[in-house]
Structure formats: C-alpha cells, structure tokens
Amino acid sequence: MLFHKKLLIILTLLLCYSAISCDAEAKEKSGGFGIFTSTLDGKNFREIISDPYREINHARVSPDKKWVTFSRFNKRKLFSKLAEEKNGYTETEIMVASLDGTEMVSLTKPRKNIINVNSYWAPDGRGLVYMSNDNNDKRKLRIKHIDIVSGVITDVSPQEIPWASDPHQVGNTIVFPATMDTSDVRSIWLMNVGSNKATPVTFPDVPKSALSGKPPAGDSDPKISPDGTKVAFTRHFGKGNYHNCVVDLETGEEKDFSSPTTVDVMPEWSSDGKLLIYWHVDMKNIRKIGLYTVDPESNNAPQQVPLPRGYHFKMPAFFPGEGSGKDARIIFTGKVVPGLR
C-alpha cells in the first residue's frame, strides 16, 4: 500500500510538471520576452533582442547609441522554465549588448538572494548606475556605479539613506526614490555625484492604509528633465492607482497629468524635453493598453504610440539626442500576448 501511495505521488508530480512545462512552452512559442525599437509614429518596428525563458526589461540606449543596457531575470518558480519579474528581483543581472543584439555581456552575474537591476547610463557612457543589495546588509538597497571597462563597482548612495533605489543621472545630478525607514512613504530625492548628502524634492500625501500594500504607496521611477529643472515620476496612491507627475525643482510645484483612477507608470523624457513617454494599462479597454506620449506643459490629451497589437509593451524610453518628432526612435520591452489584439 505504501508503495502505491508513493507511486501515486510521483505520477501526480510528473503530471503537474508536464502541465506546467507545456504552459511554459506555449508561452515560449507565443514569443517569449523581447526588446523592441520603433520610431514614434509606430513605423520601423523591430525586435533587437529576445529570450524565450528569461524576462528582459528596463532597456536604455547609450549616449553614443551603439549599446543598450537592460535587466535580466533568472529566478524561476518550482517546475517552471520561465524566469519573470513577478517571481522577485533576486538573481537579476545587469546586461549590456550592442544595439543590433549581436554582442552581449553580463556585468553582474546572477546570484541567490542578490539584486542587481534597473541600470541607467552615466552621461559619459562609460558606466552605469543601478540599484543593488549586494552589500554587507542585504536587506538594504543601495545605488551602485559600475565602470564598464574595468568592472569596478562603487557604492554612490548617500550614507544617511539606507533604502535608495532606481537612480537616474543627468549631468552631475542623480535622482532616486528613497525612504529613511521601511515604514516611511517613499519620496524622491536629489544628490550631486560624489556627495554624501541628498535632498527630498517630493512629499507625497497618501493614505496610511496604502502603506501596507504591495508595492507600498509613494513615489518611484524619477527622471530628471534634460535641462535639469524638473523631475517626472510615478506616484502610487494605493489600490493599483498610479499617476504620472512632474515636479518643478525651483518652485516645488507639482503637476499630475493622469486621470483620477488609472495605471500610468514610468515616464521618460524626450531629449528635447518636450514629451514624456510612459506605459499605460486599462483593463477595462485592452485596446488602450500600450505606450503613450504627453506634453506635460500643455493640456493636450495623451497620444497612444501606434504599435502592433498582440503585445504587452512596457518601460519605454527615447533614444538619446533624437528629440520628439515622429522619426524619433524609442526603445521598449515586452512579450507577445495574443489576448491584447
């Protein structure tokens, strides 16, 4: 009797593994994960890098437009072939590849319980800033800089702020979201390169009830405008309500350019500062899910980038130095999702 019970358990596990494997293979055949480019008018659409099993996201083009950096996820759930962001941020790695995808290298090899993710190019194109918990205290996120040629990694976080993430650098200034304590509302901070001090620039007023959610409420994904006078960011009010906002660094005045209840996330400036491009989700109307642009200085309605249907595109950014005209190139990540046609 004991033998039959063990055999039944083994067969059940094999059947579960087979079903999950088939599901993973079906997802693989549907297109896997990719990095794409297009012009802003939706033309010249192409995939430049793909991975059938590992999610790749947060793609950003180098100042000389020859390279792209991105994050690659490697953590898989039991019996799954797919490594996705939803499985957590550990075992991530910072990648650099040629823009045509023919050359590729990992700068931070994936390791258990270690986060290395969300890289941005330093202005000189020789290094990257990113967030990492590869510290003595792995509970804390820090901002790191890696020199691409030498591989030397430096902690560039302000010493008094233990939880700093998602850096973006323009000139000699780095902007990032941070908290002094994990129970705090996350806000946006600025610091000069090489400084141990940082200054908060947003002071989000969100319900205390939203702080216990996942992700917690507050501000994230800040981007400095090309002229250094403004910061675009995403504010999470809780319960899946995300707005894109801009704060004027001189006056402190904020402008929210999202509708009252929405999911608008990760705004990125065009190189001329005239447009923001971002990722919008509307589960009530899947035709509206996609990438959008908006002029934060006007009251004009956001415009959807006319990309092919059947994909879930996200995390867009403009190519450096190409402005905001219809021929300006954008880079973004995504995967094939037939239900979005």
**Predicted confidence band of residue 207 (pLDDT cuts 50, 70, 90):** confident
Q: What percent of the chain lies above the pLDDT cut of 70? A: 88
321-341 pLDDT per residue, tens: 999 999 999 999 999 888 887
pLDDT band per the 50, 70, 90 thresholds, residue 221: very high
**Residue closest to 288 by CA, chosen among 300, 305, 267:** 305
Average pLDDT over residues 230-243: 93
The one-letter code for the residue type at 58 is H
How large is the greatest C-alpha to C-alpha distance in the chain, in angstroms?
Answer: 77
Q: How far apart, in whole angstroms, are the C-alpha atoms of residue 298 and residue 260?
A: 18
Rounded to 10 degrees, the C-alpha dihedral 246/250/251/252 comes to: 50
pLDDT score, position 59: 98
Cis omega before residue 158 (within 30°)? no
**Distance from C-alpha of 329 to C-alpha of 206, rounded to nearest angstrom:** 36
Picking from 272, 306, 311, the residue whose alpha carbon sits closest to that of residue 292 is 306
Q: What single-letter amino acid sits at 207? A: P
Tens digits of per-residue pLDDT, 35-46? 999 999 999 999
Mean pLDDT of the chain: 88
Global confidence as pTM: 0.89
Structure tokens at 215: 């992700």
For residue 88, pLDDT over 50 is answered with yes
pLDDT of 29-80, one tens digit each? 345 899 999 999 999 999 999 999 999 999 999 999 999 999 999 999 999 9
- β-pairing, 127-132 with 153-155? unpaired
DSSP label at 76?
B
Q: Which of 168-172, 173-177, 237-241, 315-319 has the lowest mean pLDDT?
A: 237-241
AA identity, residue 282: D
Does the structure show a pLDDT above 90 at 222? yes
Instruction: Find out whether 70 and 331 touch, Cβ atoms under 8 Å.
Output: no
Ordered by where they begin, the domains of the chain are: 2-340 (2.120.10.30)
